[in-house]
Structure 1
Amino acid sequence: MQSFAQEFRFQTKFDDAIPVLNLGTFHMGYTPDANKVEFDEYDKENVAQIHEIAKALAAFKPTVIVVETTANYQPTLEKLYKAYLQNPAMTFEKPNEVELLAYEIGRLSGAERIYGINYKEEYNYGLYWSLPNKVDSTIFPKYEKLFKKNEAIYVEKFGEPKTVLDLLVQTNHPDYLDFLINVNADMLTYVSSKGKAEGADEAAKFYHRNLVMFSNLNQIQLTKDDRVFILMGATHTAYFNEFMKRSPKYKVVDVFDYLK
């Protein structure tokens, strides 16, 4: 017997909902983030691999590129992007995923517009290790063991990631994206002293940061003919997938239709 949810589905998207390819990445250059993938952004083979991936992703044909830079960097972002379109052989002093991947996707697809939507907000995601007198000190270690178990299973099945494509495929796995939301925010709701909610307060800051970033996206003027490619650190990608799943304005395209 079908459940009511299977029998009847609401229309949740506008008829002219805008297609979005939302790709999560590891940071390919300098990052202040606590966790960083070891990656040589100057290595020619790495750059060649990234450009091959750009070709595959450019088949989405985005008209707008969105990246993880702040509003005050917008003039520089546009200036460098225009310079790259004119001279894709140009070099960058400290290249990252924006210059290495987003610019190339934009060039190949003919996208003329690029926007940064990042918003900075500090929070203490290491609260578990610093908060005394925790009500529950068991959840974090158990979760860490669970993730390490899954990592081992993944490596046994697919091997250690060896190429840039391997890393991006692993990073964009739906379960891994859920893990990123958990480990960066939701797990903090288990961290508190009696009668308080210190962890929830910190998690709320990170949710707020991502909500402001989503608000920044929503301020970009788009039409029904636009197609949006978003490139951000994968934790932001995970949040945006959730936001856009419920948004009537956007329809998320499966990254694995292009990330092959």
Structure 2
Amino acid sequence: MQVLNVGFFHFGTTSDATKVDFDENNAKEQEEVRELSKLLSQFKPTIICLEYTPEIDDKINEAYQNFLKNPDKLDTEYGELGMVGYDVARINGLKKVYGIDNYIGYNYSVGDFIENSPELTNAIDAETYLEITNNPLKEHPELDALNKNFDSLSLLEKIKLTNHPVMLDYSLNTNADKLFYVGIDDNFVGADQAALFYQRNMRIFSNLNRIKMKKADRVLIIMGSAHTAMLREFINRSPKFEMVNTLDYLN
């Protein structure tokens, strides 16, 4: 079955380290959201998976049903999940959406903490850690320039950049993989924290596979970009799925 795996930055309030300048209540930006939803709807999904835990499925789908009663007003309460997820589901006549998230806390700042603590020394590879932290897109100057001016881009341009393969790799490095170069003495404090992020995403993929699907189903996944990047790896290797090119649906 085909999968459209789309990475987003979070609209509205977020606990993520990086917050994008986006006003979900601004009329112009809401218009951009509607246009983006139309583009993603061209995939014609039969199943839509969003970044919320299955435990609150009834609450999320109650809000979706309320949105269907008044679709002229975008639901901003759940950020991109409601604004884009609900609208794409509405356009495609879907009765419900699915949550596949699983929350595991981890400390993605442990490397920064070590670097900023004079009494501590990164005993693994501080040089590579700092290179990834300070110059993550050094080999891709055009993408680096776009990323540094991210807030000035249109919503569609933001989502296109977010889903560029190099940017998805960057997202994995930023959120987890750079921690493979961090440790104190002979411990694995960085790798152990990164493993928690990997575990969360493996559980997300397992939740995806809990959903009963037919071969003819077409699955749209809307998640934060780091989750999208990791799901890309799992989906690519799975005999169950065929992942389509996200950028083909953003033109």
Larger Rg belongs to = 1
Shift of 1:122: 0.7
C-alpha change, 1:150 and 1:88, in structure 2 (3 Å) is farther
C-alpha change, 1:29 and 1:91, in structure 2 (3 Å) is same
State whether structure 2 residue 111 is matched by structure 1 residue 128.
Answer: yes
* Aligned residue in 1 for 2:226: 235
Three-state SS of the structure 1 residue aligned to 2:51 is strand
Shift of 1:87: 2.0
State whether structure 2 residue 178 is matched by structure 1 residue 187.
Answer: yes
Q: 1:81 is aligned with what amino acid?
A: Y
* Aligned residue in 2 for 1:149: 138
Deviations 1:107-151 (A, max 9, x none): 111222310111111111111122322113222222234325357
User: Cα RMSD between the aligned structures?
Assistant: 1.9
* Aligned residue in 2 for 1:167: 158
Moved more, 118-127 or 135-144: 135-144
Give the alignment partner of residue 105 of structure 1, picking from 80, 88, 91: 88
State whether structure 2 residue 198 is matched by structure 1 residue 210.
Answer: no
Give the alignment partner of residue 237 of structure 2, picking from 235, 241, 246: 246
Shift of 1:28: 0.8
C-alpha change, 1:181 and 1:157, in structure 2 (3 Å) is closer
Q: Is the 8 A contact 1:64 1:112 kept in 2?
A: no
* Aligned residue in 1 for 2:188: 197
Unaligned runs of 5+ in 2: 115-119
Moved more, 36-45 or 130-139: 130-139
Residues matched between the structures, number: 243
State whether structure 2 residue 12 is matched by structure 1 residue 24.
Answer: no
Give the alignment partner of residue 168 of structure 2, picking from 169, 174, 177: 177
Unaligned runs of 5+ in 1: 1-17
Deviations 1:185-217 (A, max 9, x none): 111111012221111111110000000111011
TM-score (norm 2): 0.91
TM-score (norm 1): 0.88
- % of aligned pairs identical? 37
In structure 2, C-alpha distance between the alignment counterparts of 1:156 and 1:38, rounded to whole Å: 17
